[in-house]
Amino acid sequence: MTGSPPAPDHFDLVPDALLAGRAADGDTVAFEALARRHGPLMRASARRLTGSLADADDVVQESLVQAWKQLDTLRDGDAVKSWLLRITASRSIDQVRRRKNHSDLSDLDQRLAAGSGLAGGGAAGAGNPEAAALSGSRMEALKAAVAALPEEQRRCWVLKQFNDQSYEEIAQTLNISVASVRGRLARARVALAREMEGWR
């Protein structure tokens, strides 16, 4: 009596807020549409934060379970993307704290490249091999520089760059002061900018 479920691409152009409202009412199809829409960014962020492909997928899964349970507490449906990313960030940090050995991001990029056949810079101009090669190696240089950052600086930078968090949100996620966030983010940027100086 509930009618046939909409086709999977039915919701492609429906805004987040509407899907969040439906999902909060218990519409699993709308929730899955949100998960498919924001899942890739959640996964990308979790990979940079945990440094592990397997941990990142666990984090995405746990985050979606938590999101489904707590969706009715989300007041502003338009904010569902940043809310999902906030959950992903907290769970990624928890995941790393639970783990004994620290993340090794240079390793992550090797495994990523091995798994996907992409040596980074996949978005680079396809019609221009030289530009693509340059852009590809520039991305590799940035990945290496990000991986070489002290953990706390890297977290601040990823939370800003990937999760688009404010200083206050980063402070909350990492349980540190806003002043520490400012300092670490700036130091991360100084280090990265210096590393990337030669890649202009």
Partner 1 sequence: MSASGDNFECGHSLEELSIYLDTGEFSDPGHLTECPECQSGLAALRRLAALGDELVSADIAAAGSGTDDWMQSILDNLRLELRPGRDIPVRPDTPGDILTETEGSISALIRSAADSLPGTAAGKCRLDGDVSTPGSPITVRVDVAVVFGHPLEERADALRRGIAATLARHTELNIAAIDVTVADVLEPGFPGPAAGPARPSESSEEKP
Residue among 40, 78, 80, 77 nearest 60 (CA): 40
Residue number with CB closer to partner 1 (15 or 129): 15
Give the integer Cα–Cα distance in Å for 97 and 135. 34
Count residues binding partner 1 (CB under 8 A).
Answer: 77
Give the integer Cα–Cα distance in Å for 24 and 69. 9
Residue number with CB closer to partner 1 (100 or 181): 181
Residues numbered 121 to 140 that lie near partner 1 (CB under 8 A) are: 121-123, 135, 138-139
Positive or negative: CA dihedral 96, 107, 64, 174: positive
Contact between 155 and partner 1 per CB under 8 A: no
Residues numbered 14 to 73 that lie near partner 1 (CB under 8 A) are: 14-15, 17-19, 21-22, 24-28, 31-32, 35-41, 43-44, 47-48, 57, 60-61, 64-65, 68-69
Whether the CB-CB separation of 156 and 93 falls below 8 Å is answered with: no
Cβ of 13: how many Cβ atoms within 10 Å?
Answer: 6
List 91, 143, 154, 155, residue binding partner 1 (CB under 8 A): 143
Q: In angstroms, what is the minimal distance from the CB of 24 to partner 1? A: 7
Whether the CB-CB separation of 160 and 185 falls below 8 Å is answered with: yes
Contact between 196 and partner 1 per CB under 8 A: yes
Residue among 51, 74, 112 nearest 122 (CA): 112
Residue number with CB closer to partner 1 (100 or 192): 192
Give the integer Cα–Cα distance in Å for 189 and 148. 12
List 82, 104, 197, 198, residue binding partner 1 (CB under 8 A): 197
Whether the CB-CB separation of 106 and 149 falls below 8 Å is answered with: no
Cβ of 53: how many Cβ atoms within 10 Å?
Answer: 15
- Taking residues 82 to 121 in sequence order and writing x for each that binds partner 1 by CB under 8 A, - otherwise, the string is ------------------------------x---x-x-xx
Contact between 148 and partner 1 per CB under 8 A: no
Residue number with CB closer to partner 1 (100 or 137): 137
Question: Among 97-105, 126-134, 147-155, 182-190, which window interacts with partner 1 (CB under 8 A)?
Answer: 182-190
